Amino acid sequence: MLKIKSGTKMVVLSILLLGIFLINMSSTIVAADNNYNIALKKGTDVLEVTEYDEDAWKSTISRGFSPYAWFGGSADEIHSKSKYTTLSWFKNESSAMEVFYWIFSLEVALLIDSDYEYDGWAVYQAKWNFTSKAFKDDADIEENFIPVFLNPEDFKRVLDDYNDLAPLVPVLSADDFLLQLILKGLIIPKPFED
C-alpha cells in the first residue's frame, strides 16, 4: 500500500476541493430577467376604508390636511368605499415641462431646463370619491388623468429635475414636491408574468 505524507494529503485534498468548487461555479448561472411585460386592463377597482385612526393620521400626515383633502369624500369613515374605473389609455411621451405642469403649474413648468422625454402611458379613469352610501351613477371626476412611467428610473429623473428646479422656486419644499407626486397619483406599473 502506498503511503502519502500528511502535507501531501492536504495539497491533494485542497486541489480536489478547488476543482469541485470551480466546476460547480462554472455550471451555475445566476441571472435576473430584466425583460418583463407591462400591461393595463380596463376594469373597476373598489377601495374600502377598513381602519381609521384619527390621532395617527394627525401625527403622521398633518392636522391641516384631512383625509377628505387627500382622498375625497368620506375617507375618514370606516366601511366607506371609493371606485376607480379605467376607461382608456394611450402611449405617451411627455417632456419634463409637461410632467412638471401636471404636478404643479405652468409658471413652475416654464422654469424647467430639461429636454428629457418621459416614456409612458396617459391613463384616464372615472373616479368616485369615498362614500358610505351607494355609488352615484356618474363619477365625481369623469376623466381623472394619471401619467404612468414605464421606466422606474424616470422617478429618479423627476427628482433630479426637481433638485435642479428647487433653487429657482424656493417656496416649493421637497416635502411639498413629494406630496404633490403622491396626490397626483404618479405611478409605475407593476410587472406581470405571462
Does 50 map to a domain? Answer: yes
Residue 51: name the closest of 27, 72, 79 by CA.
Answer: 79
Residue 19 belongs to some domain of the structure: no
Can you give the pLDDT at residue 82?
Answer: 92
Look at the chain and report how many structural domains it folds into: 1
φ, ψ for residue 146 (rounded to 5)?
Answer: -135, 120
Helix, strand, coil: what percent of the chain each, to 5?
40, 25, 35
Residue 37 domain flag: no
Could you tell me if residue 57 is inside a domain? yes
Asked if residue 27 belongs to a domain, the reply is no
Mean pLDDT across the stretch 138-162? 83
Hey, is 24 helix, strand or coil?
helix
Indicate the pLDDT class of residue 134, thresholds 50, 70 and 90: very high
96's CB contacts (< 8 A; 6+ apart) are 112, 114, 115, 116, 118, 161
Lowest-pLDDT range of 59-63, 118-122, 185-189 = 185-189
Share of the chain above pLDDT 90, in %: 13
**What pLDDT is stored for residue 31 in this prediction?**
44
- Judge whether residue 29 has pLDDT over 80: no
**What's the mean pLDDT in 83-111?**
80
Instruction: Please check whether residue 121 is in contact with residue 148, taking contact to mean a CB–CB distance below 8 angstroms.
Output: yes
What's the confidence (pLDDT) of residue 39?
Answer: 63
116 three-state secondary structure: coil
What is the band of 186 on the pLDDT scale with cuts at 50, 70, 90? Answer: low
Q: Which residue range forms the structural domain that includes residue 164?
A: 43-184
Handedness of CA 67, 73, 79, 83 (dihedral sign): negative
55 found inside a domain: yes
Average pLDDT over the chain reads 76
Residue 95: inside a domain, yes or no? yes
- The string of pLDDT tens digits covering residues 36-71 is 455 677 889 898 999 988 888 888 776 667 888 778
Cell, residue 136: 352615484
Q: Is residue 193 part of a domain?
A: no
pLDDT surpassing 60 at residue 77:
yes
C-beta of residue 119 within 8 angstroms of C-beta of residue 90: no
| Grid cell digits, residue 138 | 356618474
Q: Which residue has the higher pLDDT, 177 or 11?
A: 177
pLDDT of residue 137: 92
Count, residues in the chain: 194
Cell of 102: 401636471
